[in-house]
Amino acid sequence: MTATALQQTRAAERPGYRLRHAARMEWIKLRSLRSTTWILAAGLVVTIALGTVAGLNTSDPKGDVTSNVLSGVIFGQLLLGVLGVLVMSSEYSSGTIRATLAAIPRRPLVLAGKAVVFGTVALVAGEVATFGSFLAGTAALRSSVPQPSLSDPAVLRAVVLTGAYLALIALIGLGIGAIVRHSAAAVTTLVGGLFVLPLVIGAGSHTVGQFMPELIVGNSLAAVRPVKDFGMSPWLELGIVALYAVVLLGVGRALLVRRDA
């Protein structure tokens, strides 16, 4: 075989489609569903509305005002996480997965395309939610409470990291969706992991709480003042949440490759 012929054979064996093709497909799929818009809008509205209410109710001038006005993410994360689940599980419930895999038979690319596209959308939504919460919540503060400012690095860090946290929860949802595949069971798993597990395990001990996403966001990411028992840096805490997302997506990827569709 000549070198050229060999090269041609190799070229023919390499798939022509790349991550950008998978991502383009996922982008079209994501924005062509009304539910995407509705769930994202609901997530923003709920997060910002609760942040505003928290601002109105803040009376302690010595409290962590930034953390208060970001408290809406506790509910906002649920909507983004559920949307992440649905991005994967609705492919199975509708049968779209067969069409998707016929177009992109190299399955890791399908999940990577979803993670890139949906992760980006969720990051933008997350930052809009936290910056919106901060602006609306601090505007609602009574005059006796000092206004935190985004020019304070600790405040800016809290708002930015909390928004990033929302994107990571969305990716955790995507990973759970890839593992569990059935929407209802996957949402139950997500809610159990986010809300129930910290109640069961983390309530007694903050040492374990440092590893629970819901407690991480409230006590570390969104906090401007250090909270007792949360000694790790907020960046490290965000890294823990990111690690969960990476592990879940990794397991989801392995199962997607192994299982029949």
Partner 1 sequence: MIDARDLTKRYGATLAVDRLSFTVRPGAVTGFLGPNGSGKSTTMRMVMGLDAPDGGQARIGGRPYQQARWPLREAGALLEARAFHPGRTGRSHLRALAAANAVPRSRVEEVLGMVGLESAADRRAGTYSLGMAQRLGIAAALIGDPAVLLFDEPVNGLDPEGVRWIRQLMRRLAAEGRTVFMSSHLISEMAQTADRLIVIGAGRLLADTTVAELSARAGGNLEDAFFALTADTAQYRAATEGGF
**Helix, strand, coil abundance in the chain, percent, nearest 5:** 75, 0, 25
Q: Does 260 bind partner 1 (CB under 8 A)?
A: yes
In the chain, DSSP finds a helix count (H) and a strand count (E) of 13, 0
Radius of gyration of the chain from its Cα atoms, rounded to whole angstroms: 21
Q: How far is the CB of 27 from partner 1 (least distance, A)?
A: 8
Q: Does 1 bind partner 1 (CB under 8 A)?
A: no
Cβ distance to partner 1 smaller for residue 21 or 157:
21
Q: How far is the CB of 187 from partner 1 (least distance, A)?
A: 17
Q: Does 147 bind partner 1 (CB under 8 A)?
A: no
Q: Residues 7, 57, 59, 94: which binds partner 1 (CB under 8 A)?
A: 94
On whether the CB atoms of residues 129 and 73 are closer than 8 A, the answer is yes
Burial 219-236 (b: 16+ CB within 10 A, else e): bbbbbbeebeebeeebee
Q: Does 103 bind partner 1 (CB under 8 A)?
A: yes
Q: Residues 21, 157, 182, 206: which binds partner 1 (CB under 8 A)?
A: 21
What phi, psi does 142 have (nearest 5°)? -75, 160
On whether the CB atoms of residues 247 and 168 are closer than 8 A, the answer is no
Q: Does 201 bind partner 1 (CB under 8 A)?
A: no
How far is it, in rounded angstroms, from Cα 258 to Cα 251? 11
Q: Does 5 bind partner 1 (CB under 8 A)?
A: no
Q: How far is the CB of 182 from partner 1 (least distance, A)?
A: 16
Q: How far is the CB of 115 from partner 1 (least distance, A)?
A: 16
Return residues touching partner 1 (CB under 8 A).
12-17, 21-22, 24-29, 32-35, 90-91, 94-96, 98-106, 258, 260-261
